[in-house]
Amino acid sequence: MLCQNDKIELRAAVPGDMDGIRKVFLSGKFDGEFCVQFLREPDPLVSLGHDGDSAVVIVMEYVSTREIIAVAGCVIRREYAGSSVRRIGYLTGLKILPEYQKKVYCIADGYQMIRDLTREDVDIYYTTILSSNCGAIKLLEKKHKRMPSYHFLGEYTTYCIKGGGKERGTLTGLTAQERETLYQGKVLPGLDFSPSGTALYQLKDQDFIALRGRDNEILAACAIYDQQAYKQYVISGYNRKYKLLSKLPTRWLGFPAFPKENSELNYASVAFLYVKDHDPELGRKFLRAAAAHSSRYEILLAGLFENNTDQAIFASYKHVKFKSRLYEVTWEEPQYQPGNPVGLEVSLL
């Protein structure tokens, strides 16, 4: 598709576009109290596909130079919504080279292309935007001609907690049957936007850990999910209070260490967090044990939506956090009916 007086072409990405797509990803960062780059090295196309059953990625390039100047994607996966498995499209990776951000006027065409390429495979579209990204929020929450509507659903908090520490409680593994009974039979159907199963890319049996009580009852469980091989977070700078905190020995105080500027986080995600009866004290006990179990990581990331009652776990658990805004994205009428708590996994953002 040609646009902007035939100067720009929109098309589906192909493997030969990897270098151009990488350049776009490497050029972007999100400013706030700390500045973050979300990278998908070594191949963004492959990385996006790992987050779902498939991914549709489009590129925008100048016809005269064949330079790729923008990228956008839609990760397609099966998730629960209203206690039924639906086909979900997660809109992500919308990035434009900084020098072209005020020179491109065919964003609406890009959205329409993604819609055309995915409409037969997606029931509900959603996306997240960092709450510190005020420019994008202002732009996309306002209704524009030919653009989809962004319906704000609420805030999502990513908690960064310290890896390591003293062992508190004995953890065990989970059998495949235990995982199926717990998650697919009990937990996941009651959480909207939770995965339809626990078989995420390269998530291994041994990554699941549990705290047990009498009669071998599972009191709490999760998976420690390492995605650094294809998804990275780079802290490119600190602002305001975090500029001072980054210079202090925060691990001694129970908080995660602040990485040096322009270094990658050594992290893993806390996936499929389950705490019996959403007991905050039990949840904190389990997370301390999980952190000690995961001492090879500097930081563990856990994400919870505002209507998830497990938020209370972090009320008195030392952490650093950042917030995102969750939206349903629609071209026609909204398809999502809020009801259940949202169980969106931080590892899939």
pLDDT digits (tens, 9 = 90+) for 115-137: 999 999 999 999 999 998 888 89
Q: How many whole angstroms separate alpha carbon 192 and alpha carbon 81?
A: 4
Residues 18-40, mean pLDDT to the nearest whole number: 84
- E strand segments, the chain: 2-3, 8-12, 34-39, 54-62, 68-81, 84-96, 124-130, 149-162, 171-172, 208-212, 218-225, 232-238, 263-264, 267-275, 299-305, 320-330
- pLDDT confidence band for 249 (50 / 70 / 90): low
Question: Would you state the pLDDT for residue 255?
Answer: 73
Q: How many whole angstroms separate alpha carbon 270 and alpha carbon 63?
A: 44
312 CB burial (10 A radius; 0-12, 13-18, 19+): middle
On the question of pLDDT at 33 being above 70, the answer is no
Which of 97, 7, 109 minimizes the C-alpha distance to 58? 109
Which of 322, 303, 329 minimizes the C-alpha distance to 75? 329
Which of 138, 35, 130, 92 minimizes the C-alpha distance to 322? 130
Question: Would you state the pLDDT for residue 87?
Answer: 98
Among the residues of 15-55, which ranges form H helices?
A: 18-27, 44-50
44: its two tokens = 């963004």
Q: Answer for the pair 74, 114: CB distance below 8 angstroms, yes or no.
A: yes
**Domains defined for the chain, CATH in brackets:** 2-154 (3.40.630.30), 159-339 (3.40.630)
- pLDDT confidence band for 28 (50 / 70 / 90): confident
Residues 110-116, mean pLDDT to the nearest whole number: 96
Question: Would you state the pLDDT for residue 253?
Answer: 65
Q: Answer for the pair 65, 108: CB distance below 8 angstroms, yes or no.
A: no
Residues 203-227, mean pLDDT to the nearest whole number: 96
Per the prediction, the chain carries an average pLDDT of: 92
